[in-house]
Amino acid sequence: MTTTITSETPRAELPLIAPQHDAGIDYELFLDCVHCGLCTSACPTYVELGDENDSPRGRIYLMRAVTDGRIDLDASVQKHLDLCLDCRACESACPSGVQYGKLIEPFRIHMEKTGTKPDHLSWLQKLMLYHFTPYAGRMWLALAPARFMQWTGLDRMMQALGLFYLMPSSLRQMHEMLPPLKSHYGSMPEVLPAEGKRRARVALFTGCAADAIFPQTNLATARVLQKNGCDVWIPRDQGCCGALHYHAALAEPAKQFAQANCDAFLPAPANDVDAIIVNAAGCGAMLKDYGHLFHASPLEERATTFARKVKDISEFLVDLGPIKPTHPLKLKATYHDACHLCHGQQIRKQPRQLLEMIPELELAPLAESEICCGAAGAYNLTQPEMAERLGERKAKNVLATAADAVFSGNVGCLLQLGRYLRSLKPDLIISHPIDALWASYQGTPLG
């Protein structure tokens, strides 16, 4: 008699073939997927490739089949799972509430532990990603040669002479992603007082790579919070959120960063705050997931307490009731939804609401705004071909708006947008919405 397997089939009734892979995933999470296919049109890799194995339901089927022992975790399966951007667009599209992130992330960690996860990075890329990028100070120093080349014009001369093509491909790729680097603000005071009547007391998460590459955005975030009546506390011992390591299936270093942040932001009741503010979507999604990261461990309760306080800057300001900016920004602009903001945190309206408050700023709709741009943490390094396809797709849609500026709430998105738009439209402003809001508060130029 032939056994028919469906998504509703209890695990006990499945025909097991020497199961060898248990990623510690609650099996009920697999069963939430009813394979309706509504997620496929939201999945960037399926939209590009049209391969069912590169769709969310296809990957869930593969992970479940490997867990059941019905198929091997061979190179083909690994390739399909590794091509996933973990953008979580499928979660937004799913009517059954499938928690895809809680499937793909632990499964990739299992692949890393068992030595089956593909390794796409060179030693230099690993050095930069895991030993420089998560540390703002180191990253600032590492970028010193790039700043010197930009400020002296040496990079333009090398580009004109074709000398960049003599560099290793990994270095050339990282250089192409860099925006024009601005001077760092130095060190903000640990406490910045509210302007006018105090409305809230918040802590500011400054991050790592974002603070080194876009320091002006952290400064603008602090100033905007002050302008809106917030005392701003900036803990000195905070660090990387751990997202780069976690999405690369390096769970232990991610937990170490998470524990350090819990220690920095929750030292005592005296330092209690109304919210922990973050301005980078990828960091925010990770910080809000700390409870899951420490699931079933002694640190789960404390990590959950931390996570509940985390708010994206746009989310917090709209809830607080933002002070209306008064200086006009005469721009036609568009907005790209960072995946870990719209899908990971379900924040869509708030950044647009802040931009729409700015006098004379016209906000044009962006086609496929919620389709990933291809940044996805280190994805543009690990999967350069797909990242390029998605980057070019996003650039085409941005250019079709004829906008003077494009805004997005995540450092990775800003880097990816810049990489594919700078050569096509050099005068296009690529910035965070909070930079625009601060410019309108101050009456200063944006860009």
pLDDT more than 70, % of the chain: 91
User: In the chain, what are the domain boundaries?
Assistant: 11-113, 123-177, 191-318, 325-442
* CATH class of the domain defined by 11-113: mainly alpha
In the predicted model, what is the mean pLDDT of residues 351-379? 94
Is the confidence at residue 278, as pLDDT, over 70?
yes
Is the confidence at residue 180, as pLDDT, over 60?
yes
Q: How far are the Cα atoms of 32, 88, 360, 384 from residue 85, in angstroms, in the given order?
A: 21, 8, 36, 12
Is the confidence at residue 432, as pLDDT, over 70?
yes
- Provide the token pair at 318: 């709209």
- Provide the token pair at 116: 């089956």
Q: Residue 271: what pLDDT?
A: 58
Name which residue leads in pLDDT, 115 or 4. Answer: 115
Is the confidence at residue 269, as pLDDT, over 50?
no
**Alpha carbon distance 113, 23 (integer Å):** 10
Question: How does pLDDT run across 299-343, given as a tens digit for each residue?
Answer: 999 999 999 999 999 999 999 999 999 999 999 999 999 999 999
Residues 287/261, Cβ–Cβ less than 8 Å: yes
Sorting pLDDT into bands at 50, 70 and 90, what band is 7?
very low
* Dihedral sign (CA 318, 320, 321, 323): negative
Among the listed ranges 94-98, 107-111, 187-191, 202-206, which one has the minimum average pLDDT value? 107-111
Name the CA radius of gyration of the chain, rounded: 22
Sorting pLDDT into bands at 50, 70 and 90, what band is 2?
very low
Is the confidence at residue 146, as pLDDT, over 90?
no
Q: How far apart are the first and last CA of the chain?
A: 69
User: Angle, to 10 degrees, between the axis of helix 313-320 and the axis of helix 215-227?
Assistant: 10
CB atoms within 10 A of CB 297: 11
**Alpha carbon distance 131, 141 (integer Å):** 12
Q: Residue 260: what pLDDT?
A: 95
Is the confidence at residue 108, as pLDDT, over 60?
yes
Q: Residue 136: what pLDDT?
A: 84
Helix (H) / strand (E) containing 85: none
**Alpha carbon distance 417, 411 (integer Å):** 10
Question: How does pLDDT run across 308-320, given as a tens digit for each residue?
Answer: 999 999 999 999 9
Burial track 116-154 (b if 16+ CB lie within 10 A, e otherwise): bbeeebeeebeebbbebbbbbeebbebbeeebebbeeee
pTM score above 0.85:
yes
Among the listed ranges 69-83, 146-160, 329-343, 370-384, which one has the minimum average pLDDT value? 146-160
The mean pLDDT value of the chain amounts to 88
User: Hey, which CATH number is domain 191-318, 2.60.120, 1.10.287, 1.10.3470, 3.40.50?
Assistant: 3.40.50
Question: How does pLDDT run across 31-53, given as a tens digit for each residue?
Answer: 999 999 999 999 999 999 999 99
> Per-residue DSSP letters for 124-183?
HHHHIIIIITT-HHHHHHHTHHHHHHHHHTHHHHHHHHTGGGGS-HHHHHHHHH--PPPP
- Provide the token pair at 438: 């601060």
Residue 237 three-state SS: coil
**Alpha carbon distance 164, 99 (integer Å):** 43
Sorting pLDDT into bands at 50, 70 and 90, what band is 157?
confident
> Per-residue DSSP letters for 300-365?
HHHHHHHHHHEEEHHHHHHHH-PPPP-S---EEEEE---HHHHTTS---HHHHHHHHTSTTEEEE-
Q: Residue 26: what pLDDT?
A: 87
In the predicted model, what is the mean pLDDT of residues 196-222? 93
**Alpha carbon distance 197, 331 (integer Å):** 32
Is the confidence at residue 140, as pLDDT, over 70?
yes
Is the confidence at residue 366, as pLDDT, over 60?
yes
CB atoms within 10 A of CB 238: 21
DSSP state of 54: G
Nearest to 146 by CA among 181, 117, 189: 181
Q: Residue 6: what pLDDT?
A: 46
- Per CATH, 11-113 and 191-318 having the same topology is answered no
Sorting pLDDT into bands at 50, 70 and 90, what band is 18?
very low
**Alpha carbon distance 413, 383 (integer Å):** 16
In the predicted model, what is the mean pLDDT of residues 257-280? 86
Q: Is the domain defined by 325-442 classed in CATH 3.30.70?
A: no
Q: Residue 109: what pLDDT?
A: 84
